[in-house]
């Protein structure tokens, strides 16, 4: 078998394949090229743990979470299905909202389940303290707030968190059933360079 001559049709196919690979390489060279990770100073990947408290304030004169949209059925849905809120929530060092501000959670959450209270979170944690001042993490995930622990993926980051990936664990610290105000403890584990 190994010594058998290649059939002409196989040769043609092979040449065509080579030719199309060359063309696609030339095309991609037009707007992209491969780089070595060291050219972006990417060295050893590291793991960072961040710990802070998230304050979601719906009540009072200065709410940090405001409803921006809802569906016609949201009012009659037991899970507020279809409601969307914009947030600019404080992230602080301790559960005290007046403790050191370490960052802000900015973005959206949407009531996305018809079966239970569950949020689809799409937000950035932009940090304001210490070495991560000016850097941010992007969170995208499912958050059923009455579960003891909710896990949400960290899907990326900027600044010192470029190429970040990881997960966040959220645990409710306090929740006021009357106002809807909540303080949530976050533990974030993130791999980055
Ligand atoms: C839902 O209820 C709120 C008050 O609770 C009211 O302002 C709003 O108009 C209602 N929306 C719909 C679509 O019925
Ligand atoms: C935080 O500070 C504000 C204004 O300085 C004050 O009104 C509020 O009661 C404080 N909150 C807590 C929980 O101490
Ligand atoms: C964070 O960075 C901003 C902009 O560089 C700066 O104005 C601010 O003072 C820094 N905050 C802290 C707590 O260092
Ligand atoms: C919930 O908020 C209301 C209004 O601010 C307040 O009167 C009540 O004490 C709070 N409940 C809890 C458990 O903190």
How many CB atoms neighbour CB 38 within 10 A?
8
**8-state DSSP, 37:** G
Paired with 55 in beta bridges are 90, 183
**Amino acid 13: pLDDT:** 53
- Coil, strand, or helix at residue 33? coil
**Amino acid 69: pLDDT:** 98
Q: Which residues of 162-184 are buried (b: 16+ CB within 10 A; e: fewer)?
A: eebbbebebebeeeeeeeebbbb
CA distances from 65 to 6, 53, 85, 118 (A): 69, 15, 6, 16
* Mean pLDDT across the chain: 91
Tell me: the pLDDT tens digits for 143-172? 999 999 999 999 999 999 999 999 999 999
Domains of the chain, first to last: 44-192 (2.40.480.10)
CA distances from 53 to 1, 24, 81, 102 (A): 69, 50, 26, 9
Cα–Cα dist 139/136, whole Å: 10
Specify the pTM. Answer: 0.85
- Cβ of residue 61 lying under 6 Å from some atom of ligand 2: no
d(CA 98, ligand 2 centre) in Å: 6
**Amino acid 30: pLDDT:** 87
74-97 mean pLDDT: 98
Counting from 1 in the atom list of ligand 2, the atom nearest the Cα of 96 is 13
**Whose CA is closest to atom 4 on ligand 3?**
134
d(CA 78, ligand 1 centre) in Å: 14
Share of the chain above pLDDT 70, in %: 85
Cα–Cα dist 43/136, whole Å: 20
Tell me: the pLDDT tens digits for 1-29? 445 555 656 555 555 555 555 555 555 57
């Amino acid at each position: 078998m190994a010594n058998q001559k290649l059939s002409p049709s196989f040769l043609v196919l092979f040449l065509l394949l080579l030719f199309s690979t060359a063309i696609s390489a030339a095309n991609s060279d037009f707007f992209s090229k491969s780089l070595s990770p060291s050219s972006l100073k990417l060295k050893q990947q590291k793991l960072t743990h961040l710990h802070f408290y998230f304050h979601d304030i719906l009540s009072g004169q200065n709410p940090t979470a405001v409803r921006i949209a809802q569906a016609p059925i949201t009012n009659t849905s037991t899970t507020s299905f279809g409601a969307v809120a914009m947030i600019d929530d404080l992230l602080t060092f301790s559960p005290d909202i007046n403790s050191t501000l370490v960052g802000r959670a900015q973005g959206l959450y949407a009531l996305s389940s018809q079966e239970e209270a569950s949020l689809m979170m799409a937000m950035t944690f932009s940090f304001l303290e210490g070495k991560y001042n000016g850097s941010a993490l992007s969170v995208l995930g499912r958050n059923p707030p009455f579960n003891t622990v909710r896990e949400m993926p960290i899907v990326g980051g900027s600044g010192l968190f470029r190429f970040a990936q990881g997960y966040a664990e959220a645990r409710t610290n306090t929740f006021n059933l009357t106002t809807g105000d909540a303080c949530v403890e976050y533990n974030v584990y993130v791999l980055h360079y």
